[in-house]
Amino acid sequence: MAKGKVTFNDDACKGCELCVAVCPVKIIELNKEKINSKGYSPAHVTDQEKCIACANCAIMCPDSVITVERL
């Protein structure tokens, strides 16, 4: 299985959670310990090792917050 790396442009995130819902390996959640410049808790990855670089999260994100790389 391909390995991937997901990076978030934190300040563009509006915390809508659409990426959270479509991740097949369930590794995305909102980072409740952080608040971005818009006042939202941005999404982040909990276990990068499990990422399979499917890019579902990035395709679903309305604000183009997410960049996905295949390792």
Partner 1 sequence: MTIVYEKSKGLTDVPFHYCPGCTHGVIHKLVAESLVELGVLDDAIGVAPVGCSVLAYKYFNCDMQEAAHGRAPAVATGIKRVHPDKVVFSYQGDGDLASIGTAEVVHAAHRGEKITTIFVNNAIYGMTGGQMAPTTLVGQKTTTSPFGRDEAHCGKPIRISEMLATIDGAKFIERVTVDTPANIRKAKKAIKRAFECQIKGEGFALVEVLSTCPTNWGLTPLKALEWLRDNMIPYYPLGNFRDFGEGK
**Rule CB under 8 A: which residues touch partner 1?**
4-5, 9, 12, 14-18, 21-22, 40, 53, 55-56, 58-64, 66-71
| 20: enclosing H helix or E strand | helix 18-22
Q: In whole angstroms, how close is the CB of 16 to partner 1 at the nearest point?
A: 3
DSSP H helical segments within the chain, as ranges? 18-22, 56-60
Q: In whole angstroms, how close is the CB of 56 to partner 1 at the nearest point?
A: 4
Q: In whole angstroms, how close is the CB of 54 to partner 1 at the nearest point?
A: 8
Partners of residue 29 on adjacent β-strands: 44
